[in-house]
Chain A
Amino acid sequence: MLADFQQALADLTASPELCMAVKIDPSLLMRRYQLTDREAGRLEGIVRHPGMACSCMVYRANRLAPLALNTPRLCKALGHDLRAVASDYWADHPQSNVHFYVEADRFCRFVRREIARGRSFGPEVGSALEIESAQVAAALRESHTEAA
C-alpha cells in the first residue's frame, strides 16, 4: 500500500544500512512493509540507483542542520564522536521534528543522558552542553510567541 511505500522510502533514505540490507536481501522489504509487487520493485530500483547514496547524505545533512545551527559548540566539542552520537540519537528518535528548537532540545537531553550512563566524551563537551542546552531551552520557551 502507498503509505507503506512512502514510509519505506523515508526509512531507506534515513539509513544507508537498511539500503545495504535490502540490496543483499530484497525480500526484507516485503517482510517489513505491506507492499504490492510493483511498489517493492520500485523500491528495489531506487535502492540500486547510484543517486541513493546522495539522497542518504542529504538526509543526514538536513537532519544535522538544526543541531549544527543551535548547538554549534557542542557539535564541535564532540568532534569525532559527533558522527556516532548523532547516529545513536537518530536511532533513538527516528522522526525529525520540524520545530528546530524541539529537535535541538531533544538532542541536548540525549547527550546528557548518555553522559549520565557513563559514556565519556572530550573535555569541552560538558561545558558546551551546559551553555547551549540552556540557550536552546530558553529559545524553545520564547518560541511560544502567542497565548496558549
Chain B
Amino acid sequence: MKALDKKLLRDLRHIWTQVLAVALVMAAGVATILIAIGAHRSLDGTRNVYYERYRFADVFTSATRAPVSVVERILRIPGVSIAEGRIVKPVLLDIEGMSEPASGLAISLPPGRQPHLNALFMRSGRLPKADAGFEVVISESFAEAHRFTAGSKFKALLNGRKRELKVTGIALSPEYIYALGPGEFLPDDRRFGVLWMAEETMEAAFDLDGAINNVTIKLLKGASQPAVIAAVDRLLARYGGLGAYGRKDQASHEFLDSELQELEAMRNVLPPIFMIVTAFLVNMIMSRIIALEREQIGLLKAVGYSRSGIAWHYIKFVLCISAVGIMIGYGLGQWLGRGLTRIYAEFFRYPFLIFDSSTDIFLAAAAISATAGLAGASGSVWQAATLPAAVAMRPPAPVAYSSLFSRHLKVITAFNQVTRMTLRHMVRKPLRAGGTLLGIALSLSVLISSLFAFDSIDFMIDTLYFRTDRQHATLSFADDRHPRALQEAAHLPGVMRAEPARAIPARIRNGNKSRRIAVIGKPRNADMSLVVDLDIRPVKLPRQGLVISDKLASLLDATTGQYVTLELLDGKRRSVEVIVSAKVRSYIGLLAAMDLDALNEIAGDGPRISSVSLAIDTNRTDALYEKVKALPAVASITLQRVSLALFRDTLAQNIAMMMTVYTSLGVIIAFGVAYNSARIQLSERARELASLRVLGFTRQEVARILLNELAILTALALPLGWLGGYGLAWLTAQGLDTEVHRIPFIIDRDTYAWASVVLVAAVAVSALIVRLRINKLDLIAVLKTRD
C-alpha cells in the first residue's frame, strides 16, 4: 500500500467516531432513498406485472340490469378490445362466532373457466361449479381472518334468502389488491370478503337470468378512454348504467396510486435533508483536518506531490467516509425496506411482492451521497490543493479574533469571561456555528414532522367519529328504497333513532375538469351524520345548492358561489347546474353533499333513501345484528365503534413504525451534528483548554467552556427548528394529501415540546461523550504541540 494511503487509513481510524457520526447521517439519506424509491418501484412494478398477467381491466361499469347481448354491442365500440359481462352484488354474510353481520361482494365467474379480465390467482382449491350447490371462491384476506379453507362453510343472504356457501378455493384478484368494504376507508379483513361464484348460481339467486349488471373492458392500445366511456355510458343508460370509469377511479387502483404518491413525497423531502446535513458535516470535518494538516500538505508539495495528487488524497478521505455511510445505508435500507414490505403485505394482496433492490437505485443513492460529501469537502480540498508550499512551511499566524465584534457590540462586555470566549469563538467560525445551528434545527424539524402525526390523527379521529359521523351504525341498502324503510329501520330492535341518507353516483364537472363521485343527500336537520365546515363546525345544509369538500373544490377549480354541472348517473339521470354554496372539510375521499329533499328533487325518481344512520342501545346490539342478518334489503352494516377501533389499530401500527424510523432519523442528525461540532471545537481549542487546566480550572469548568457554544447554538436552534418543523410537517401533510385521503395539519404545543426534549437529549448525549474525552485531555502533549 502507498504510504499516503496508509496515512489516510490511520487518520480515518484516529477520528473514527466522527467518521461514524457523519456516515450515519449519510446512511440515513441512502436508506431513505432506497426505501422510498425501492418501495415505489416494488409497488409499481409488482402492480404492473400483476395487472398484466391477470389481465386487469381498463374500464369498469355497472348497471341495474342489462341483457347479456349488450356486451356484444360494447365490443363493437371502437377502441374496445375485450368486454366481459358479469354479475356483481353486495351480500350480507352471517358467520359463525361473529355476532355482527359481515359484508361480501359476490362476483360471477364464467362457467368452468377464468374470466378474460380480472383473472383470479388461485392460492388454493378450485373454481366453483354451478351445479354443486352454492360454491364460492373467497378472497385470501377474508379467508385468513376466519381461517377458512377449502371445504369451510358460512351463510350469506342472497337476494333475501339465507344460503349456505361452501368454500372451494382461496384466491387473489388484481381488482382487490386493496379490498375495502362498503362505507369503509380501511380494509377490515374480518368484516369484508370478495366471493366468486358460478355465473349460473348467481343468475338464479338474483333473478338475473340472461342478464348482467357489470361490465369490464380492456382497451386497445392507443384507444381514447374518455371516448369509450362516453359510448359505454350511452349504451348502458337505459339499463340503469351507473357511469363507466377508468382505473383512476377504481378503488383498489386509486388507493395504490395514493400510496405511490406518498412514497414520492417521502423521497422528495427526506433525502435532501440528509444530503444537506451530510455535506455540512463533511465540510466541517474536512476543513478542520486540512487546517490541522497545513504543514503536512506543504511538505507533500515541497517533496513533489502535485496539486491533483493532494486533492485526490483528500477526496479519497471523503470517499472512504461515504463508503462507510453507503454500506450502513444499504443495510439499513434493506432492513427497513423489509419492514415496509411487511406492512404492504398486510394491506395489499399480491400473489407475489418483489422488493425491488435493483443495483441502479443503490448506485444512484451511493452517487448522490458521495456527491453530497464531495460537495461539502470541495472548498477544503480546493484549499489544500492550492495551498502554496512555501506558505504551508510556516506555522499558521495566530488567529485574528474579531475585534470588530467586541468593539461594536457593547453587550459583549456584559458577559463573563467564559461566555465572551465562546461568543468570539463562534463569531470567528461563523460558517461552522451557522451550520451547526442549522443542522440541529433540521433535526428538530424532522422530529416535529414525525411526532405531529399523533396530533393529526387525534384530530382526525375526533372529526371523523365525534363531529361528522356520530351515529353508532350505518345500514346500507342494496338498492335505493322508499323512505318508509327509515321507519322500518327505526323499529329494529335496539334502535333509538334513525336518520336517512341517499348517495347517487354522479359526475361533477366544472369546465373541462370533472370527477366521478357520489353525491350524498342528508336531511337539513341531521343530528347524527353531519357535514362540517372548514373550521370543523356543523354545517346546516342549504335548501338549494351543493356543499363540496375543499379538496374537490381545488380539483375542480371551483369556488363558492359558482355553478357546477352535476350529471347524476342514477334516478332520471338528469344533468343539472347547481350552485356551490359552501366549502366543507372532509379527510376521506371527495365529498359533495346536499339536502336530501333537494337531491331527490333533482334525481326526479321520487323520495328515495339508500342508507340509514342509527343510534342504538349498545345493550341490544346482538338482537339488532340477528335481525339485520335476515333483512333482504340490507347490503351492509358498518359499525362506527368497530371502524374506529380498526382505524386506531391500523394507524397506530403504521404510525408507530413511521415514527420510530423518523425519530431515529432525527436523532441521528442531531447526534451527528452536535458530536462533530463539539469534537472539532475540542480539537481547535485543545491548547486553550489545556492551558486553562494548567491554570487551575477544573475539568468541569473546562467542559463548560467547551460545551457552552453547543448549548447556545442548541438554544438558538430551537425556534428555528420549530419553524422548520412546521414547514416540514406541512410538506408531510401535503404528501398525504391525495384524492383518497388527507390528514389535518395540526401541531399541538406538546409536540413542539416533546420534539425539543428528544433533541436536547440527543445533543446532551453527544456532549457527554465529548465531555469524557476532556477527562482524557493530555495536558503535556497538548501544550507541546504547535497548533
Partners in one complex: no
